[in-house]
């Protein structure tokens, strides 16, 4: 029996809040200051996140010509950077603990401008009339990511021993919530595939693999930077894509296309993280 989408949405909200709050408990001014010494690399990687991946998605849509709702779902995911769990995944992949938080903050802040612009470009390319404002994006980014991150960082600044004691247990809780959300999504996988086929998931998997390579190439000059660069470039924000779809009253096929892409992305990311764990364990 398919899981209602609002159940997955509720579990996603809880997981994102706990993950971002736990990351905030580890974030201090020294992390941002250290990362800003790499301003050139930071700028280059943000460019890699914002520009090449949407271009790649447009090429995929033009070459394979999927049904319009599926194409829209793929493109909405491609233009939605800054997934809430991206910073945790970047750290899991061995990314620098100073660089990864600053990179994530730069991406989510820049998304307030880049996403509305990208929506206008997509409208021109495939003939849709979607509209999304910087205020809509800013609201989603603030409540989903910046607020819990700021709360965690404030506790660290105010009561550092408390933050140190609770950061790891909360990170484990966040990982369990993400695992539960993934299990709920997998239960819906057969019904999603029945409605839209394998195209969105295959597109999500393929674009993610290529995006990991692009991100690694842009950050390759520093061994401590490229894992975070690869993950940040590949990770997309389903919540942001769903927000755009919802604001524009998109069809259910667009929603399932977004979810299908997210499933392919998750599978590719699991493979990458497993490979990184094996490499770092040697």
Q: What is the CATH number of the domain that holds 115?
A: 1.20.1530.20
**What range does the domain containing 146 cover?**
5-281
CA distance readout (Å), 182 to 62, 94, 126, 188, 238: 30, 23, 31, 10, 13
Q: Is 149 exposed, middle or buried (0-12, 13-18, 19+ CB in 10 A)?
A: buried
- How many domains does the chain contain in total? 1
Q: Across the 282 residues of the chain, what is the mean pLDDT of every consecutive 10-residue run?
A: 57 78 81 73 89 94 90 94 79 74 84 91 85 87 86 89 87 79 68 75 95 89 81 90 87 85 91 87 69
Asked if 71 and 126 count as a contact pair (C-beta separation under 8 A), the reply is yes
Integer Cα distance of 113 and 27 in angstroms:
25
The DSSP 8-state label assigned to residue 198 in this structure reads S
Which residues touch 192 (CB under 8 Å, ≥6 apart)?
256, 259, 260, 263
Asked if 257 and 193 count as a contact pair (C-beta separation under 8 A), the reply is no
Q: Residue 281's pLDDT is what?
A: 72
The DSSP 8-state label assigned to residue 146 in this structure reads I
Integer Cα distance of 152 and 267 in angstroms:
29
Integer Cα distance of 200 and 265 in angstroms:
10
Q: At CA 217, angle to CA 121 and CA 34, rounded to 5?
A: 95
Alpha carbon 223 to chain centroid distance?
A: 22
Integer Cα distance of 275 and 205 in angstroms:
16
User: Contacts from 267-270 at CB under 8 Å and sequence distance 24+?
Assistant: 267/201, 267/205, 268/204, 268/205, 268/208, 268/209, 268/212, 268/234, 269/89, 269/208, 269/231, 269/234, 269/235
Q: Which residue stretches of 25-98 are H helix?
A: 29-35, 39-50, 52-64, 68-78, 86-92
């Amino acid at each position: 029996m398919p899981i209602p989408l609002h159940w997955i949405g509720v579990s996603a909200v809880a997981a994102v809040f706990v993950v971002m709050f736990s990351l905030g408990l580890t974030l201090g001014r020294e992390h941002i200051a250290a990362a800003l010494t790499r301003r050139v690399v930071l700028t280059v990687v943000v460019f890699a996140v914002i520009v090449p991946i949407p271009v790649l998605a447009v090429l995929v849509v033009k070459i394979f010509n999927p049904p319009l709702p599926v194409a829209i779902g793929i493109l909405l995911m491609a233009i939605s950077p800054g997934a809430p769990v991206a910073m945790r995944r970047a750290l899991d992949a061995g990314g620098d603990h100073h660089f990864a938080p600053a990179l994530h903050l730069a991406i989510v802040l820049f998304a307030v401008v880049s996403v509305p612009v990208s929506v206008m470009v997509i409208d021109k390319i495939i003939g849709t009339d979607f509209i999304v404002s910087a205020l809509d994006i800013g609201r989603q980014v603030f409540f989903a990511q910046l607020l819990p991150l700021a709360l965690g960082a404030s506790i660290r600044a105010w009561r550092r021993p408390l933050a140190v004691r609770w950061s790891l247990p909360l990170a484990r809780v966040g990982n369990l919530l993400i695992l539960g959300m993934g299990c709920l999504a997998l239960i819906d996988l057969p019904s999603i595939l029945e409605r839209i086929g394998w195209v969105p998931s295959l597109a999500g998997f393929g674009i993610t693999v290529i995006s990991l390579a692009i991100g690694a190439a842009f950050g390759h000059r520093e061994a401590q930077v490229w894992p975070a660069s690869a993950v940040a470039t590949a990770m997309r924000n389903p919540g942001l894509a769903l927000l755009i779809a919802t604001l524009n009253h998109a069809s259910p096929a667009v929603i399932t296309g977004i979810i299908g892409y997210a499933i392919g992305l998750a599978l590719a990311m699991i493979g990458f993280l497993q490979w990184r764990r094996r490499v770092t364990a040697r």
